[in-house]
Amino acid sequence: MKTIVLDAAPNIVRYQVSIPDPRSHRYALRCELRAQGPVEFRLPGWIRGSYLVRDFSKHVIGLRAWRNGREQAIERLDKRSFRLAGDGEVVLEYEVNAFDESVRKAFLDTRRGFFNGSSLFYCPRGFEQTRFEIRIDKPRDALCADWKLATTLTAVETDADGFGLYAAEDYEALIDHPVEMAAFQRYDFDVDGVPHALILSGRVELDAQRVTADLARICHVERELFRQQPQLDRFLFLTNVVGAGYGGLEHRSSTALICSRGDFPRVGKTELSREYRTFLGLCSHEYFHLWNVKRITAQAFLESDLGREAYTRDLWHYEGVTSYYDDLFLLRAAIIEPALYLDLLAESATRLQRAPARLVQTLEDASFETWIKYYQPDENSVNASTNYYVKGALVALCLDLVLRLRSSITLDDVMRTLWTRYGAPGIGVPEGGLAAVAQELSGLDLGGFFDRALRSTEELPLAELLQEFGIAATLRASTSALDDGGRTQSKAQVRWVGLRLRPGESGIAHVIAGSPAQRAGLSAGDQLVALDGLRITAQNWTRRLDAYEPGARVELAYFRGEELLTTRIDIADAPLDTWTFTLAEADAERLARRQAWLGV
């Protein structure tokens, strides 16, 4: 028997989220509303910020519906939509299987619950602008007794642990405030008078005072760029701490993060580890999305109902520019030194340099095709798919340097104008919007620059531009398997055949197009067995190669499937694919530019 508990307010959709048994990994959903005539319900096909159609409806189980207390047949319209005939009060009940540990869907076990509304909540058509109320019940299971709840949904009536009644002003808000439930650690801090908090689920020990102080400095410099706009009520870093993980998804007043237990500094440690710096870079990145993509956003995204793909050629702007700024804010917040910042830029430049795809796919095409490429990488991605985060960040760098060199503005001015013109009034940015604003504000003819950077596969003018800022850019050979670019003391010469092994295995992850490995007939998936009659392991592979002079041709045994095959492979010197950017002697003009950009 289903009883309707709707009150007199007709323009409201009520959801109840409960957890009958966390061991089942299922959320139980109940939806109540009142509607005249038939109602259509839809679940999003993708989640904003992650450009792949994921078909969240595939996790829905046991959907049933009632109208005015009588069970109603569900008429399925397509993979994500259905219709209910009849009239008056509607009750829906269903379960959602939640076992996705990423930040994009929903997860539930006895340790933790997390969900994005896009995985749980159907939108009744015509109710997109309606107020939603969501009751989230604390699970009664003893294993969840210490659970608390954190979300930026508006609390209406909640208990001390944060469970209870929440509201969202419309459907887009409902699905843009993820919910975290666990016996998490919570560290509150203030940024320019706005309450912020770091929520950590999962076992972790850290110097929370240091971490929140660092986060506060990063958030502050970002807010300063946009002159403390917009007004925020609060911000949450919802962080899932795991053994080994990395990722984040931006939301309008929070971000969902996944990171590694070892990322955090412990009390008493003062050095900046690579892992901790990477975590701060991730937080910086997601926080900048508060402006760039959440509010300064593509018209195509604003117009999308999240059903099918929303195409834009500008993801280099939304992700690449954000990636350029994420480490730059670490520098502006005095968390890293200029020399280290240049190392991070050099690592990005090296990633691009080592990917033959940069000569194959333009940045605009990489953006447009993200729906079939970036989120579905395969063994050939390094040869075929340009990474718009990496190349986009380097294009943003080049643009900032061109503006600083040839005009009176910087990329900061471009971002501020994008905010006041599009972000603040909630207007979608037309295609090519950032390029147009850069050109307008600077008074420069940037057509050639953008044609080359976005619509061609020509190399970027990194070295030429950096030189104008008193920075020496050198392209050198890698000195070890761990050399990702940046400064190195080593003069080691390493050998190269153009393949990458899967981490910890002797199986091939990918083969570089045109490399000795490809000429020898090797493919992704092949299992290397022996080089010149000596066994190959994940640990000794580069050492084995380094034993030969460049030009040597050596017998290589490998398995393809079950068959043992042999080939001969040419050993080459490591190519010049590794960048180093260093502060250099320069004239006063160049030093002044560098001072203005990097503060050194």
> What are the residues binding Zn ion (CB under 5 A)?
319
User: ∠ CA(402), CA(317), CA(440), 5° rounding?
Assistant: 50
Q: Which of 83, 150, 82 is nearest to 112 (CA)?
A: 150
The least distance separating Zn ion from the CB of residue 474, rounded to whole angstroms, comes to 29
The least distance separating Zn ion from the CB of residue 330, rounded to whole angstroms, comes to 16
For residues 523 and 590, what is the distance between their CA atoms, to the nearest angstrom?
47
SS3 state of residue 235: strand
The least distance separating Zn ion from the CB of residue 515, rounded to whole angstroms, comes to 31
Q: Which is nearer to Zn ion, 181 or 399 (CB)?
A: 399
Q: Which is nearer to Zn ion, 2 or 252 (CB)?
A: 252
The least distance separating Zn ion from the CB of residue 319, rounded to whole angstroms, comes to 5
For residues 496 and 499, what is the distance between their CA atoms, to the nearest angstrom?
8
Q: Which is nearer to Zn ion, 276 or 324 (CB)?
A: 324
Q: Which is nearer to Zn ion, 139 or 392 (CB)?
A: 392
For residues 172 and 175, what is the distance between their CA atoms, to the nearest angstrom?
5
The least distance separating Zn ion from the CB of residue 377, rounded to whole angstroms, comes to 16
Q: Which is nearer to Zn ion, 318 or 341 (CB)?
A: 318
The least distance separating Zn ion from the CB of residue 217, rounded to whole angstroms, comes to 20
The least distance separating Zn ion from the CB of residue 539, rounded to whole angstroms, comes to 34
Q: Phi/psi at 482 (nearest 5 deg)?
A: -95, 0
Q: Which is nearer to Zn ion, 57 or 284 (CB)?
A: 284
The least distance separating Zn ion from the CB of residue 441, rounded to whole angstroms, comes to 24
Q: Which of 127, 152, 443, 411 is nearest to 292 (CA)?
A: 411
Q: How many CB atoms lie within 10 A of CB 2?
A: 18
The least distance separating Zn ion from the CB of residue 52, rounded to whole angstroms, comes to 14
Q: Which is nearer to Zn ion, 319 or 369 (CB)?
A: 319
Q: Which of 296, 329, 291, 331 is nearest to 314 (CA)?
A: 296
Secondary structure of 504-569 in HEC code, one letter for each residue: CCCEEEEECCCCHHHHCCCCCCCEEEEECCEECCCCCHHHHHHCCCCCCEEEEEEEECCEEEEEEE
Q: Which of 115, 56, 104 is nearest to 80 (CA)?
A: 56
For residues 285 and 298, what is the distance between their CA atoms, to the nearest angstrom?
18
Q: Which is nearer to Zn ion, 319 or 364 (CB)?
A: 319
Q: Which is nearer to Zn ion, 369 or 526 (CB)?
A: 369
**Residues in contact with 306: Cβ distance below 8 Å, sequence separation at least 6, in sequence order:** 44, 45, 46, 47, 48, 118
Q: Which is nearer to Zn ion, 133 or 364 (CB)?
A: 364
DSSP 47: B
Burial environment of residue 563 by CB neighbours within 10 A (0 to 12, 13 to 18, 19 or more) = exposed
The least distance separating Zn ion from the CB of residue 322, rounded to whole angstroms, comes to 5
Q: Which of 362, 452, 344 is nearest to 399 (CA)?
A: 452
SS3 state of residue 322: helix
What's the token pair of residue 290?
A: 């508060």
Cα 88 to its chain centre, rounded Å, is 42
The least distance separating Zn ion from the CB of residue 285, rounded to whole angstroms, comes to 5
Q: Which is nearer to Zn ion, 319 or 577 (CB)?
A: 319
